[in-house]
Amino acid sequence: MDAEKAEPNGKAPLVVVTGGLGRVATVVLPWLRKQYRVRLVDRAATTRRSGELVPADIADPEATREVLAGADAILHLAGNSSPWQSWDSVYTANVWTTQVVLEAAAAHAVPKIVLASSLHASGEYNRPQYWPVDPRLDPRPCCPYGLGKVVLEALGRTHADRTGASVTCLRLGLTGWPPSERRYLGQWLSDDDAGRLMLAALGATERYGVHFGVSANTRNQWDTTSARHELGYRPEDDSEALADQAGPSSGPVCRLFDPETPE
């Protein structure tokens, strides 16, 4: 498996997207193509497609070094997003793979990295007394998945400090799905706003930053001020337009949704 070489100067920069066949990648791909050449990396891919889709398991350091060759930026979306998984699963699917990606990025001196974190990294703040939650607060994960994202962010900070690369961590809300339940209205990230957010993050030159990724929701539970000011993110959508279609909670998830938290 040979990764593509960088195109000559004058071509669009190359962004490598891990988890390239996943829900978030599928949503933001049309936006990425507006400004970047794209290399999608996913272990579920069975064949290489037109040079854009590359089958690889990013848990394999050698394979990851190969697929990152020539990258101008990395959008790391791969991982297990289930809040019900065990810590062992979180480490294997989310922490270890992030470490592998960052080590390969360092080997290739990739100057820009965007890491997909999650609101679960701050899940314990999802209470009325904290709304809208400030991303500068100390992390308070609500589950093993959220804890894994806190570790991902720490790995990203260490990478930025050691290599000088620009690392942006995005604590994404509900992405790639409609807010089918009322409790999701305050954390919804529309498909178009997800695309706007990714382009803003990829274009940012901050050394290191952590920002919430949600739309311009009327039910504002998560403060996007830093994403707006430091990344230039301009969300346009509001979950309130879909509120009439949102039903009651379907059951417990994790402490991101405390039983006493109003919907």
Catalytically annotated residue among 125, 145, 184, 233:
145
Are the CB atoms for 149 and 171 separated by under 8 Å?
Answer: yes
Tokens read off for 126: 């999802």
Query: Residue 167 has which token pair?
Result: 């690392």
Nearest CA among 210, 103, 204 for reference residue 163: 103
For residue 211, what are the contacts with CB-CB under 8 A and spacing of at least 6? 135, 168, 169, 170, 171, 201, 224, 226, 227, 230, 231, 233
| 191-203 vs 23-32: helix crossing angle, rounded to 10 | 70
Compute the Cα dihedral for 47, 51, 56, 62 and give only its sign.
positive
Q: Quick one: CA torsion of 46, 175, 101, 106, rounded to 10 degrees?
A: 130
Q: Are strands 73-76 and 14-18 parallel, antiparallel or unpaired?
A: parallel
Q: Is 36 a catalytic residue?
A: no
Q: Per DSSP, what are the bridge partners of residue 171?
A: 117, 212
Please say whether the beta carbons of 197 and 189 come within 8 A.
Answer: yes
Whose tokens are 């830093």? That residue is 226
Alpha carbon distance 240, 176 (integer Å): 17
Catalytic positions are: 145
